[in-house]
Amino acid sequence: MITKLKPTLGLWTSISLVVGGIIGSGIFLKPAVMASQLGSPQLLIWIWIIAGVITLFGALSNAEVAAMIPETGGQFVFFKYMYGDFVAFLYGWAAFAVFNTAGVASIAYVLGTYVEYFVALPRFSVETEKAISLYIPLVGRIYPIENIGVKSVTILVIALLTAINYRSTKSGGQIQVFLTALKVVAILIIIGGFLFSSKGNSAHFFENSGTIDPTGIALIGAVVAALSGAFWGYDGWNNITFVGGEIKDPQRNIPASLFVGIIVCIVIYGLTTAAYVFVLPIDQIASSSLVAADAAQTVFGTVGGALIAAMVILSTFGTTNGNVLATARVSFAMAQEKNFFFAVGKVHPRFGTPANALLIHGVYTALLVLSGSFDMLTDMLIFVSWLFYGLSAAGLFILRYKLPDMPRPYKVWGYPWIPASFVLFTLVFLIVTLVTDIQRYNDGESPIINSIFGLVLTAIGIPLYWYFKRK
């Protein structure tokens, strides 16, 4: 009987998991929302760069631990060493209930949204959509059948990729390498087309919005909100740690893939945002629903919008595949440690994959798709995932104290300042985000307090921990 997953993923697959896991839909949708918050083209570009550098600090802090403990399950395993079983279980549960599954749902949701560029997907009337709702105390109201056409396409994509990775991890990895390479080349061609177009205007870089001009406390709130959007664009870098036990030479390949992968993403995100600004004034970016397609239509005409929409579909398909492949490994590792349902920890006897973990993730992800909108899913998952990113970086100090003699093939440069600055920033970011979410709900700007919804789903894991511990 097979009980362990085999190391089948090399360096290029590892880098493609980092790059492919990060570059999905954020850079194609979030710049519009961020522009409407900031009103400044220069701030918009800098936010993507700053968010990337902060993400790199957190990733390198995790890389030291991942090289020490290269096991399938990633941060779930790390937290057992750092904080013990309870925090590790809460992380694993939150990964399943909130950020890993919501990450897959939100990325695939963008794919469904861009399908509408080519096909008019069915949708109920506003009255019908609002007639069926679910109210969650202290959180808000969700509408399951809202935008049902897009949600149906999203669920279909999740089902297809779950089936592919159910049958073969190696095939899933090969698809990831191919789609990531294709995605990066396509994005670079688009960036070049934008930046060297005669339709662009360098004056756009210095023209702030005529209507959006936050100052003082409002500016701080706008920057934090924009950072949240950018962080979602960079989310997915830790997928590589989930498959640590399936990577060849993990002590070298995990840190290398994280460093190379995130640097590539910072460059691509910075250039892509600059390309949008060169083509479109900031107010037009802020009002756009499909900013990448609108910019391409300005440069290339009608065919340009179609090409961008097709590229976004390709990009999000690849990112969804990378997330489906990697994230189920956390639940698999929990079940193998007897901290989750026993069947989830089984390896398929024929395919050698965490088949049951993939299935339960697929079903729950589909439910999350029905539960909310794109922005609700992204805001919820970013708050909870960054809570654990901060704990993970803080745990590096604990391991340096608890296990000083444990071999460390890679040590984070800039210790202790790099991980300490990441932890401090995370704390400030979480506090401001929570306050902002509550304020937006009270002002009627949001139907749900996204951060609290994520915390509620995480807290459900507390009684489950005692249930599994007793069993």
DSSP secondary structure, 346-383, as one string: PPPTTT-S-HHHHHHHHHHHHHHHHH--HHHHHHHHHH
Residue 1 CB neighbour total at 10 angstroms: 5
Q: Is 346 exposed, middle or buried (0-12, 13-18, 19+ CB in 10 A)?
A: middle
Q: Percentage of the chain with pLDDT > 90?
A: 25
Q: Please indicate, yes or no, if residue 77 is contained in any of the structural domains.
A: yes
pLDDT above 70 for 428: yes
The answer to whether residues 6 and 246 touch, using CB atoms and an 8 Å cutoff, is yes
Q: What is the pLDDT of residues 188-198, one digit of tens each?
A: 888 898 999 88
* Mean pLDDT of all residues belonging to the chain: 84
Mean pLDDT over residues 300-320, rounded? 84
Q: Please indicate, yes or no, if residue 2 is contained in any of the structural domains.
A: no
Write out the DSSP string of 32-57. Answer: HHHHHHH--HHHHHHHHHHHHHHHHH
Write out the DSSP string of 181-215. Answer: HHHHHHHHHHHHHHHT-TT--GGGGG---SS----
The CATH number linked to 249 is 1.20.1740.10
Q: Please indicate, yes or no, if residue 383 is contained in any of the structural domains.
A: yes
Q: Please indicate, yes or no, if residue 387 is contained in any of the structural domains.
A: yes
Residues ≥6 apart with Cβ < 8 Å to 328: 165, 354, 357, 358, 360, 361
Q: What is the pLDDT of residues 6-60, one digit of tens each?
A: 666 677 778 887 887 788 777 887 899 899 999 999 999 999 999 999 999 888 8
State which residues form the domain around 292.
11-470
Question: What's residue 154's pLDDT?
Answer: 92
Q: Please indicate, yes or no, if residue 3 is contained in any of the structural domains.
A: no
Q: Is 10 exposed, middle or buried (0-12, 13-18, 19+ CB in 10 A)?
A: middle
Question: What's residue 292's pLDDT?
Answer: 85
**pTM reported for the whole predicted model:** 0.77
Mean pLDDT over residues 336-362, rounded? 87
Number of folded domains that form the chain: 1
Residue 436 parent element (H or E): helix 417-442
CA–CA separation, 61 vs 47, rounded Å? 21
Sign of the dihedral defined by the CA atoms of residues 327, 99, 255, 390, in that order: negative
Nearest Cα to 425, choosing from 50, 84, 71, 148?
Answer: 50
Question: What's residue 139's pLDDT?
Answer: 55
E strands present in 235-346 = none
Q: Please indicate, yes or no, if residue 302 is contained in any of the structural domains.
A: yes
Q: Please indicate, yes or no, if residue 6 is contained in any of the structural domains.
A: no
Amino acid letter, 226: A
pLDDT above 60 for 335: yes
Question: What's residue 1's pLDDT?
Answer: 45
Q: Please indicate, yes or no, if residue 63 is contained in any of the structural domains.
A: yes
Q: What is the pLDDT of residues 217-254, one digit of tens each?
A: 888 888 888 988 898 889 878 777 777 667 787 777 88
DSSP-derived letter for residue 98 is I
pLDDT above 70 for 375: no
